């Protein structure tokens, strides 16, 4: 799992008192996939709204920051 996703899950309370560890594999994977889909959706919005150069820079930042590629 990407470090940034872990940090965000902590701030959302998912790791409080072993909450994450009590979830099953299906639930953990679903939460990770949900986070990935949100990032991809944001990337798609950027693609529609930004110039190519700006989008390319943002795509690289998203990939680096979240570990998610379009």
- Percentage of residues in the chain with pLDDT exceeding 90? 20
Predicted pLDDT at 54: 87
Predicted pLDDT at 38: 92
Question: Do the Cβ atoms of 59 and 70 come closer than 8 Å?
Answer: yes
pLDDT digits (tens, 9 = 90+) for 17-63: 778 888 899 998 999 999 999 999 988 888 888 888 888 888 888 88
Predicted pLDDT at 4: 86
Predicted pLDDT at 67: 86
pLDDT digits (tens, 9 = 90+) for 47-60: 888 888 888 888 88
Taking CB atoms within 8 Å and a gap of at least 24, the contacts of 59-67 are 65/4, 66/2, 66/4, 66/5, 66/35, 66/36, 66/39, 67/2, 67/4, 67/5
């Amino acid at each position: 799992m990407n470090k940034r996703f872990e940090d965000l899950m902590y701030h959302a309370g998912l790791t409080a008192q072993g909450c994450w560890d009590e979830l099953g594999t299906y639930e953990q994977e679903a939460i990770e996939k949900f986070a990935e889909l949100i990032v991809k959706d944001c990337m798609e919005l950027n693609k529609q709204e930004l110039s190519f150069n700006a989008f390319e820079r943002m795509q690289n930042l998203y990939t680096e920051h979240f570990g998610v590629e379009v």
